[in-house]
Amino acid sequence: MKKLITVLLSLLFISLAAYSIYTVIQFNQSKNQISNKNTISHEHPVNGKNIGNITVMDFNNHTYKLKESLKHDINIINMWASWCEPCNKEMPELIHYDQQKPNHVGLIGLNVQDKPDKRDEFIKKYSPDYPMYSLSEEITKQYKFTYVPTTLFVDKEGKVLKTYIGELNQSQIESITQQID
């Protein structure tokens, strides 16, 4: 009887594990198949809040208020780190988008959780042509920017309109931007 119960519990556990894996795979596949018009942004505590007064630092250690760089109707603020594989995959997409984006949209990069030498190698490797800053660990924690890449869609005044957590491609960026327009 004990052996039968052990076998049944083992089968139950294996079935639940298999179902969980199947569910995750199906979710990821369906997420990838969502039409661009329905790109989903994520709930985040910063959505709807103004982040214009966040202090950022350029790579020469000069500090600025983020609002000084919010010059477009829609500002796409991408948080990245050199060690982050999705960030490395996403950066060419961002650079390509930047080269053909509409005039009312701007990009800003925020490096987080990185060492200066690794950050500089990353910048040299991809050569983005939009403003890049560093964000302190204190501000990262305060605003709960836990995951990279995280991309914020922010208006001129600094209000966060949408947040996307994870790797974005160009069509997803265009879709979210169109949803905001």
Segment 76-95, tens digit of pLDDT: 999 999 999 999 999 999 99
Segment 5-25, tens digit of pLDDT: 877 666 665 754 445 455 545
Q: Which domain holds residue 104?
A: 39-180
Same domain flag for 96 and 28 = no
DSSP string for 7-64: HHHHHHHHHHHHHHHHHHHHHHHHHHHS-GGGPPPB--TTTTSB-TT-EEE-TTS-EE
Same domain flag for 81 and 160 = yes
Give the total number of structural domains in the chain.
Answer: 2
What CATH number does residue 149 fall under? Answer: 3.40.30.10
Same domain flag for 60 and 82 = yes
Same domain flag for 98 and 136 = yes
